[in-house]
A and B are shown apart, each in its own frame.
Chain A
Amino acid sequence: MTLLEARNLNTYYGESHILRDVDLSVRHNEMVCLIGRNGVGKTTFLKSLIGLLTPRSGGIFLEGNPLERKPPHQRARLGIGYVPQGREIISHLSVEENLLLGMEALPGGLNQNKKIDSFIYELFPILHKFLARRGGDLSGGQQQQLAIARALLGSPKLLLLDEPTEGIQPNIVQDIETAVKRIILEKGIGVLLVEQHLHFVRQADRYYAMQRGGIVATGQTEDLSQAVVDKFLSV
C-alpha cells in the first residue's frame, strides 16, 4: 500500500489560493523530493500534510487512513515526523528534553518511553556531547541535526523534511545527507524532502516539480535533466 497519498489538495491562506489540485505519493523505503522555486507552495504543502494548515478540499491518506480531519498531534502519533523549515527547536529546553519530546509520538508517549535510543547518537554524535545545553544555544547546523533526531525518535513511517540544508555549512550538509539515506535503508521509512541543494536532490528516488501551487512535472530523479533543474531550482 502507498505510504502517503495526497489527492487533489487545495489549500488557501485566507482568500488566496495557494495549493491547486496537488497529487503526490510516497512509498515505503522511498525518498521523494519536491522541488520548485521560492514561494510556489512547497512549505504550504508540508504544513497541510502535518496539519498546521487545513486544506479546503482534497484528501490525505497515510497507509489508507484519512488524515485531513485530524489535528497535528494525532497525525504525529500515526507516524508522520515533521522537520520544519527553521527547525523550530524549543529553545529554552535542553537538547535532551528536546529529544525526549520527540518520543511523544510513540504509543504511550513520554510516560512509557523514557530512554533515548542510542542510534540517534550514531547518526549525530555531536548531540550526545551537548545533551545538557539549551536547544537555542546550538548553531544552525546542530539545531538541524537535533530537529531530525527529534523527529526520528518518534519512529515515524514518513519523514517530512523542509529544506534541511538551508543556510548550513557544507560538512554538516554531508552528514545530514548520509544520515537520511541510512535511515531509509535501515528503517524502511519514506521521506518527503523539500530541497534546493542539487546534490541532495539527486539522492532522491523520484521528484515532483511544483510551480504556482501545482505539480507540473514528475519522474525518476536519474531522468532529471539540466533543463528541468534550471527551471525549478533557484541555484
Chain B
Amino acid sequence: MQLIIESLFNGVAIGSVLLIAALGLAIVFGLMGVINLAHGELMMLGAYSTYVTQLIFKLPALKPIYNAYVIVAIGVAFLVSAVVGILLERSVIRRLYGNPLETLLATWGVSLILQQFVRSVPLAYGTGIAIALLTGLILPILLPKNLYKKNRAHLVKFGTWSVSALIGVISSSGLSATISKLGRASARNVDVTAPAWMRGGFELWGITFPMTRLVIIVITGIAVLSVTWFLNRSVWGIRIRAVTQNRSMSDCLGISTETVDVLTFGIGSGLAGVAGVAISLLGSVGPNVGGSYIVGCFMVVVLGGVGNLMGTIIASFCIGIITDLIGAGRLLTIWPQMPAPLASAIDFFATTSMARVLVFALIVIFLQFRPAGLFPQKGRMVEA
C-alpha cells in the first residue's frame, strides 16, 4: 500500500512538472499549430523572474513578507513571459503563419538570442526592459479612451511609451544599485532558495511528501483548472476555439483573429513562465535550463494528441508514473523473484537519465502504431 502511494505520488510529481511545462505548449503548438522552439527559453525567463523576485523580496522593506515571494513570482513570471511571447508573436511568428519550417528555424534563433541575452546582459537591465514593456502595454488600457482622439493619438502613444521607457531605466538603475547580484552580467547558474515553509516535508501514513513537490502539484492543478475554465467557459475561450477550428469563418463572423492570436500566444507563453517558477524550485537556474525541458514538452503534446488538452494532461501523468516505475527500480521491488536477465536489464535502466531514454524509446514505438497520439481528433470535421 505504502509502496503504491509513494510511487503514485512520485509519478504524479514528475508528471506535474512535465504538465506545467507542456501546458503552454499545448496551447501554442496544440491549438495554434505554431512550433515554438523558444518555448523553453520562455520558461527560463520565468525561472529568472522568480530569482529576481526573490532577491527583491530580500530587501529590508519587503523582508517581513519574504515567505510570500513564490506567490508573487508566479504572477511576475506569467506577465514577463507573456509580454516577451507577445512581442515574439507580433515581430516574428505573425509573418510566418503557415510556414512551419521557417517558424521552427526563426524561433530556434530567438531561443539562442534569449539564452545569450541572460548571459551577457545584467539581470537588472533585463528587469528594466520587462518593466518598461509591461507598463507600455498596460498604460493604454488604464488611460481613458477619449485621450486617443484622432489627431493626438500618435502623441499620446509616444508619451506612454516614453514614460514606460523612463520607468524602465529608473527601475533598472535602482535595482543594479541596491542589489549587487543583479548589477553584473553572469553566465553562471543561480539558485532560487525555497522559503522556509516550502522546505522539509509533510508526513502522512508514515510517508514523507516533500513540500516543494506538493507545491508544484498544487500550482499545476490550479493552472490546469484555470486554463480549462478559460477555454471552455469564458467569452475569449469561445473565440479562441472558434479561430482554432475555422479561422476564415470566425473572421467573417466579426472576430478579430489577430487579437485572438496575440492573446492565445500570450497565455501560452505566460504559462511557460509559470512553469519556470516550478523548475526554479527544483534545481539551479541557468541560461540553458529551457533546453532540457523543451523536448519533453513536445513529446507530451504529441503523445496526448495535438490540439487535445485532456490528452496532454493524461500523457504527462502516464509518462511521469512510468518514468518513476523504471527510474526508481520499483518493478524489482514489486516483483523480487524476477528472472535474472530481466532483472539486470531493469536495473540497468533504473537511473533518472536512463529511464528518460527508455521512456522516449517507448513513446517512439507507441507513435509508430498511433501516430496521432493517445487521443486523436475524431469525426467528420478532421478531414474538412
Binding site for B on A (CB under 8 A): 50-52, 71-73, 76-77, 82, 84, 88, 90-93, 97, 100-102, 104-106, 109-111, 136, 150, 154
Contact = CB atoms under 8 A, between A and B. Distances in A.
A72 B239 contact: no
B345 interface: no
A71 B242 contact: no
B245 A90 contact: yes
Interface of B is mostly: helix
Contacts of B235: 109-111
B241 A150 contact: no
A109 B254 contact: yes
Contacts of B254: 73, 76-77, 104-106, 109, 154
Nearest to A50: B252
A92 B241 contact: yes
Contacts of B381: 91-92, 136
Contact of B242 (A52, A77, A90, A136): A90
A-B interface, 8 closest residue pairs, ranked by CB to CB distance from nearest: A105-B254, A91-B381, A76-B254, A104-B254, A88-B249, A72-B251, A110-B235, A82-B252
Nearest to A112: B235
A101 B245 contact: no
Given A101-B238, A110-B235, A84 B249 contact: yes
Contacts of A109: 235, 254
A136 B381 CA distance: 7
Contact of A110 (B239, B252, B384): B239
B245 to A, nearest CB: 5
B249 A90 contact: yes
B333 interface: no
A101 B242 contact: yes
Contacts of B384: 91
Interface residues of B, number: 21
Interface in B215-269: 235, 238-239, 241-242, 245-246, 248-257
Contact of A90 (B246, B257, B379): B246
Nearest to A80: B252
Nearest to B257: A73
Contacts of B242: 90, 93, 97, 101
B253 A76 contact: yes
B145 interface: no
Contacts of B249: 84, 88, 90
B246 A84 contact: no
B379 A91 contact: yes
B245 A93 contact: yes
Given A92-B381, A110-B239, A102 B253 contact: yes
B233 to A, nearest CB: 11
Given A88-B246, A101-B242, A136 B253 contact: no
Contacts of A101: 238-239, 242, 250, 253, 255
Interface of B: 235, 238-239, 241-242, 245-246, 248-257, 379-381, 384
A150 B245 contact: no
A90 B252 contact: no
A71 B251 contact: yes
A10 B255 CA distance: 27
Contacts of B241: 90, 92-93, 97
A154 B246 CA distance: 18
A136 B383 CA distance: 12
Contact of A52 (B252, B257, B380): B252
A77 B252 CA distance: 9
Contact of B255 (A88, A104, A111): A104
A117 to B, nearest CB: 16
A150 B249 CA distance: 12
26 contacts: A50-B252, A52-B248, A52-B251, A71-B251, A73-B251, A73-B257, A76-B251, A77-B254, A82-B252, A84-B252, A90-B246, A91-B245, A91-B379, A92-B381, A93-B241, A97-B238, A101-B242, A101-B255, A102-B253, A104-B239, A104-B253, A109-B235, A110-B235, A110-B238, A136-B380, A150-B253
Given A72-B248, A91-B384, A104-B254, 9 more contacts: A50-B252, A51-B251, A71-B251, A73-B251, A76-B254, A93-B242, A101-B238, A105-B253, A110-B239
Which of A84, A105, A110, A111 gathers most chain B CB within 10 Å?
A: A110
Nearest to B235: A110
Given A73-B257, A136-B379, A136-B381, A93 B251 contact: no
Nearest to A52: B248
Nearest to A147: B249
Contacts of B253: 73, 76, 101-102, 104-105, 150, 154
Contacts of A100: 238
Nearest to B243: A90
Contacts of A52: 248, 251-252
A168 to B, nearest CB: 17
